[in-house]
Amino acid sequence: MQIPVRIVLVETTHPGNIGAAARAMKTMGLYDLALVRPRCAFPSDEATARATGATDILENARVYDSLPEAIADCGFVVGTSARERAVEWPTLPPRDCAAQVLDALDAGNRAAIVFGPEKYGLTNEALARCAVHVRIPTNPEFSSLNLAMAVQLLCYELRLAALDRARADERGETSGTEPQPSRVRPRLATVAELDHFYDHLDRVLVESGFLRADHQRQLRLKLRRIFQRAALDKNEVDILRGVLTSLEPSRYRVERSES
């Protein structure tokens, strides 16, 4: 059973962790590894050594200059978060996260789980590109979970969830026809489609005067968070683009009726 979920490692410092992550993935049936700006030489002997028999995963790993490129074709992106953050965001335990990832795959989306650098984890900006955050419930007095261990735990939960579903499907086939899953949704918008929407939103709101061109990063993050949380599908993004187009102030002669 192959589980077609991309594991994205951002700015990894230790080559051994890349190798160990590849091995961890393969033990659980995951094969798609992407590296964003690794902070160590790659490929490297140390990564290969730690991968043991999973060198095929390292050989097929793609290296990207930015996170948006690594996840551009994905409709469902999970960010891993080690800390409790001040920002409000749906934070799932690994088990629920695995179920949501499989739901997304079932609906025809590509999915990715993103891991930050060893020391600091993902930035708020990177996390803002994710639909949900997952947090592994570690010991509050010692939460220093190794990066490859975190990859192992999430891949393990994905495998368990996939095995569960495969068993349920099997039971379904033999008991006549099963009812279809309760919520059929169109495929989710990809990261690239969402980025076009955010650009459009930004442009309209700068034109309208709600946002200034180069300030208010927090406010932009708050707006983005609303739509990230909604997990927009492609159709909804199209609707919202239509809304924005209808509202573009430049469509009107821009003379304020007041002042």
Q: Which residues bind a second copy (CB under 8 A)?
A: 1, 20, 23-24, 26-29, 52-54, 88, 91, 93, 95, 136-139, 142-146, 148-149, 152-153, 156, 159-160, 163, 183-186, 204-205, 208-210, 219, 222-223, 225-227, 229-233, 235-236, 239-240, 242-243, 246-247, 249-258
Q: Which is nearer to a second copy, 114 or 189 (CB)?
A: 189
CA distances from 194 to 21, 215, 234, 249 (A): 29, 21, 9, 22
The least distance separating a second copy from the CB of residue 162, rounded to whole angstroms, comes to 10
CA distances from 134 to 19, 55, 249 (A): 22, 27, 39
CA 258 remoteness from chain centre: 44
Helix, strand, or coil (residue 253): coil
The least distance separating a second copy from the CB of residue 132, rounded to whole angstroms, comes to 12
The least distance separating a second copy from the CB of residue 148, rounded to whole angstroms, comes to 8
Q: Which is nearer to a second copy, 16 or 38 (CB)?
A: 16
Tell the residue number behind the tokens 């309760």, with chain if given. Answer: 182
Q: Which is nearer to a second copy, 74 or 151 (CB)?
A: 151
Q: How many CB atoms lie within 10 A of CB 52?
A: 13
Q: Which is nearer to a second copy, 159 or 165 (CB)?
A: 159
According to DSSP, the residues that pair with 80 across neighbouring strands are 134
The least distance separating a second copy from the CB of residue 56, rounded to whole angstroms, comes to 9
Q: Which is nearer to a second copy, 215 or 256 (CB)?
A: 256
Q: To 10 degrees, what angle do helices 94-106 and 147-174 make? A: 50
The least distance separating a second copy from the CB of residue 66, rounded to whole angstroms, comes to 26
Q: What is the total residue count of the chain?
A: 259
